Amino acid sequence: MHASLVVSGLRKVYEGSGRRVEAVRDLTFTVDAGELVCLVGPSGCGKTTLLKCMGGLLTPTSGEVLVGGRRVSGPPPGMAFVFQEYGRSLFPWMRVGANVELPLKQKDLSKARRRELVADALESVGLADAAGAYPWQLSGGMQQRVAIARALAYEPEVLLMDEPFAAVDAQTRADLEDLVRRLWRQRGITILFVTHDIDEAVYLGERVLILSASPTVVQEQLKVDLPQERDQLRTRVAPRFAELRTHVYEQIQAAKRGEPS
């Protein structure tokens, strides 16, 4: 299986007004095509810096990011982003349908094809009827579904999700987690899911990457050997789930204290 996303020797140092902050020291990892990987780490561990470097929004000090084999120097065409702040990431002046369609207008697609992609994406997040509504007329969970639909319609090779469910309530969150699992299995996209929630990381991921405290390195990579079929009730009480989450928890505590794994 070839790697969809390669991060090698990534380092980012912020320089400004006599202060020099090394946010990311040396990050190397790969995400295979069609894999769902969760990234967890202690708070302030440089996740945002890493994501911005991967998304081509920030230039790393050294090292490189490859998406689909191509080196990232600006926002890569094969990558879609889902942000935590759905309320600010969706445009309130556009209806839901137009929000989902906007990124497609940058691609060379016919109008009919764009419509098809928008309808299909909204359908698969369960919002087929919401195309004519404004985002602010929807609940928080529905707004994040719209943001997910926008990413799906873009047909990305890699989907980056930056703590997407940190701002929704617990029940909605469980629904959205299952939605991500389902979409991942149906569409076979590569997903890198960043979260600070250990349970969420173990529940969702096929693999969990644990980051150290800043300056960031990869603390540990953990394979999640839970069955493919997961559900909120049974998976979360399985003994193996408890072992894995305990392990991740300990690693993060160790990372906070600055101990190597």
Partner 1 sequence: MKQKQPRGGGPSGRAVNAALGAAGLAAFLALGEVVPRLGIVKERYFPPTSRIARALGDEITDGTFWTDLGDTLTGWALGLVIAVGAGIVAGVVISVVPYLREATASTIEFLRPIPSVALIPLAVLLYGTELRSVLLLVVYASFWQVLVQVMYGVRDVDPVAEETARSYGLGTWARVRHVLWPTALPYVMTGVRLAAAVALILTVTAELVIGAPGLGARIAVAQTSQAVPEMYALIVVTGLLGLLINVGARSVERHALAWHQSVRGEVAV
Interface residues with partner 1 (CB under 8 A)? 55-57, 75, 77, 79-81, 83, 85, 88-89, 91-94, 102-103, 105-106, 134, 136-139, 150, 154
Burial of 22 (0-12, 13-18, 19+ CB in 10 A): middle
Nearer residue to partner 1 within complex by CB, 89 or 195 = 89
Nearer residue to partner 1 within complex by CB, 75 or 188 = 75
Query: How far apart are alpha carbons 101 and 11 in whole angstroms?
Result: 35
Which run of H or of E encompasses 147? helix 140-153
Question: Which residues, 6+ apart, have CB-to-CB distance to 185 below 8 Å?
Answer: 228
Query: How far apart are alpha carbons 60 and 70 in whole angstroms?
Result: 16
Tokens 């702040």 — which residue?
Answer: 85
Q: How far is the CB of 79 from partner 1 (least distance, A)?
A: 7
Q: How far is the CB of 76 from partner 1 (least distance, A)?
A: 9
Nearer residue to partner 1 within complex by CB, 3 or 94 = 94
Q: How far is the CB of 88 from partner 1 (least distance, A)?
A: 4
Q: How far is the CB of 189 from partner 1 (least distance, A)?
A: 16
Nearer residue to partner 1 within complex by CB, 87 or 215 = 87
Question: Which residues, 6+ apart, have CB-to-CB distance to 139 below 8 Å?
Answer: 172
Nearer residue to partner 1 within complex by CB, 45 or 79 = 79
Q: How far is the CB of 259 from partner 1 (least distance, A)?
A: 34
The residue among 11, 9, 37, 24 whose CA lies nearest residue 159 is 37
Parallel, antiparallel, or unpaired for β 3-16 and 158-162? Answer: unpaired
